Chain A
Amino acid sequence: MSGDATTRVPETAGGGVYALVADFDKVDVFLEAVARVRDAGFSKWDAHTPFVVHGLDAAMGIRPTGLPFLVFGAGLTGCAVGVGLQWFTNAFDYPFLISGKPLFSLPANIPVAFELTILFSAITALVGMLALNGLPRWSHPLHASRLLKRATDDRFLISIEAADPRFDATRTRELLEAAGALSVETVEV
């Protein structure tokens, strides 16, 4: 997936550093640190948590995703496909007269149209979520991070990329340490 612009490493990145990763073990300290990084004006940075931390989206300043619109579109498509399929097969391509019932009648078509609406929307919700997230992506510089392995267990991380215009190896590290990081790791490309 090439859509994930935040992971592109510019040639100017000093010393092959990809990012600084800091870890925290308390939610409250972590949320304050996240808000500090946000207020420092970074753009290419992220937080990594073992579960959804409520309030973190606000602390990071993440804007709402457009996924619902995608799913809504897929639902409309599914519904149209469901009605169209039944009209085409039973009323148009091979008129199918059963017990004198109308060839095309909406009430009888509702269950299939409904199921296809759900099917199309649900597949889009999963595939759309993965696509917007740039997943699957099995190779990523951050996977080299030692700390990241604990972000799926019990640690809360902040990663700031060297590609960020405000990144400065020393000052960014100081910022993270001052915010209460347990440790700060340098991840190389």
Chain B
Amino acid sequence: MTSSAVVTPIPLDNTTDDPTRRAPLIVGDNDFASVTNAVCGIVEMPRTPPAWWIAFFISVSLTGVLLAMIGYLVTTGIGVWGLQTPVAWGWAIVNFVFWVGIGHAGTLISAILFLLRQKWRTSINRFAEGMTIFAVVCAGIFPGIHVGRVWVAYWLFPIPNQMAMWPQFRSPLLWDVFAVGTYATVSLLFWYMGMIPDLATIRDRARSKIRWFVYGVLSLGWRSSNRHWHRFEMAYLLLAALATPLVLSVHSVVSFDFAVSIVPGWHTTIFPPYFVAGAIFSGFAMVVTLVIPTRKFFHLEEIITLRHLESMAKIMLATGMMVGLAYSTEFFIAWYSGNSYEAFAFVNRAFGPYAWAYWIMVSCNVIVPQLFWVKRLRTNLAVLWGASILINVGMWFERFVIVVSSLSRDFLPSSWGYYRPTVVDVMTFVGSFGLFMTLFLLFVRFLPIVGMAEVKGVMPQAHLREVASQGHGDYHGDILTERGEVRR
């Protein structure tokens, strides 16, 4: 048996579909060692690139702004925000839902695409999982500071407190504490577990004592043993199977915050699926926004290929259409239900004082993704990047429209109002991007941003030559018989 060495480099554009063979997932002239070098090379750079320092400086400064705004809020009171009756849920809740939504792509890619055997996930799952965790960190801040007296925020948890009372478990707000808390924990476990073999790779290549020690501790003494891999694979499969319903539940529970209330425009049964589709939509948009500059900057184009980006564009197209369908279904039901408050809430959204926000939302979320029908556009990085940013904007406005337009005009016209954010609201939100980017920049500099062990497993060299799998080979044919022969 001879090796399956790649003789000619695979062309960079792997977006063409040839029905006789599967498209390669890793392009160029790569073998296992070159993948290791490309990914570890980022961590092992002797000097941090100046561009990284500039980005890091800006991000840390913005994080400072976030902390200053939180400090001002805590010492002064919630009145520094634009919250006024009737709109008691303003930007803080909008930002919370926005960030939690972004945090959905990571687990979708790592869990759902794993169960669906979508092997292209391997190049981007680590990256997306990292992004998930940072987004959930940002999300967690907003309800935490929104409670007003942050020093008693522990009342959210079922631990004995000075009131001798327990939390109220029939409230969706408390379900949220458990859903987001579980999601943050499980995402972190999943991310870390997948990283253990890659941290061991960095340990084994370390030239300095400090790097050897730090990555050695983090990799828990991993020695690549197949007896360990066997349980690792099972644990990974179990985590994927657990994280799949979890990721669907988290944004469903977030949507219950609205749907369980009686406010017109919130009290709808479409919210859970609609929120989940929107979350995946925005999460993929954020992955694309971050991955395009990162792969360019660190020269990862052969590992995170054009086809990966194209696949993500297709998912954005699909989820964007689902979101568009949800928008129109809401309108239909508002009319069909015969409920005049519901009908008013939706007409008011599209043509009332917040119509500008509504139409930004529709343009960005429904019209922009239609570009992805055209292959030339979805494989054009500038178009894809620009569209992904617009989708992020649109998804923020979606939450703004839901939260603010419904609250500002509810049942009683005498209490109607117009909500405006304050500078503190805006700076807090901008600051949260600083925190997100700070964590992200530390991640790309110090941790393996591509799951090397998983990428190597989907390369053609990882499989027996006889199998007509073209690098996609699953268990088919790879199993040896008891006598050690390849079973065909």
Contact = CB atoms under 8 A, between A and B. Distances in A.
Contacts of B141: none
A78 B398 CA distance: 35
Contacts of B225: 46-48, 133
A50 B217 contact: no
Give the size range of B's interface with the partner: 35 or more
The main secondary structure of chain B at its interface with chain A is helix
A111 B224 contact: no
B289 interface: no
B465 interface: yes
B234 A68 contact: yes
Interface residues of A, number: 77
Given A50-B201, A51-B453, A112-B174, A154 B31 contact: yes
Contacts of A152: 36, 197, 200-201, 203-204, 222, 224
Contacts of B179: 111, 115
Contact of B484 (A35, A121, A150, A157): A35
Interface string B450-488: 001110110001111100000001110011100110100
A138 B158 CA distance: 37
Interface stretch (B14-22, B243-251, B318-326, B334-342): B243-251
B238 A67 contact: yes
Given A27-B461, A101-B170, A125 B226 contact: no
A11 interface: no
A55 interface: yes
Interface in A25-60: 25-29, 31-32, 35-36, 38-39, 46-60
Interface in A1-41: 25-29, 31-32, 35-36, 38-39
Contacts of B185: 119, 122-123
Contacts of A137: 220-221
A116 B182 contact: yes
Contacts of B232: 52, 129, 133
B249 A50 contact: no
Nearest to A59: B480
Nearest to B37: A153
Interface in B425-442: none
B51 interface: no
Contacts of A122: 182, 185-186, 189-190, 239, 242-243, 246
Contacts of A67: 231, 234-235, 238
B226 A133 contact: no
B226 A57 contact: yes
25 contacts: A28-B1, A31-B484, A32-B1, A39-B484, A48-B223, A51-B453, A54-B474, A55-B478, A55-B480, A60-B226, A86-B169, A90-B168, A111-B172, A121-B242, A122-B239, A126-B235, A133-B225, A133-B228, A136-B220, A137-B220, A138-B216, A138-B217, A149-B205, A153-B201, A153-B205
Contacts of A39: 483-484
A115 B177 CA distance: 10
A105 to B, nearest CB: 8
Return the 10 tightest CB-CB contacts between A and B, nearest first: A35-B484, A154-B32, A89-B166, A129-B235, A136-B220, A55-B478, A152-B201, A111-B175, A151-B224, A51-B457
Contact of A123 (B32, B189, B201, B457): B189
B227 interface: yes
B204 A153 contact: yes
A71 interface: yes
Contacts of A178: none
Contacts of B256: 111
A125 B32 contact: no
A133 B227 contact: yes
B456 A126 contact: no
A30 B179 CA distance: 45
B47 interface: no
A142 interface: yes
A89 B480 contact: no
A115 B182 contact: yes
A86 B484 CA distance: 55
A133 B222 CA distance: 10
A98 B221 contact: no
B239 A125 contact: yes
B158 to A, nearest CB: 6
Contacts of B182: 115-116, 118-119, 122
Contacts of A143: 221, 223
Nearest to A103: B170
B233 interface: yes
B166 A93 contact: yes
A56 B220 CA distance: 23
B3 interface: yes
B326 to A, nearest CB: 21
Given A122-B186, A129-B232, 6 more contacts: A32-B480, A35-B483, A51-B453, A118-B242, A119-B186, A149-B205
Nearest to A128: B235
A22 to B, nearest CB: 14
Which of A60, A96, A125 neighbours the largest number of chain B CB atoms within 10 Å of its CB?
A125
A182 interface: no
B231 A65 contact: yes
B103 to A, nearest CB: 15
A175 interface: no
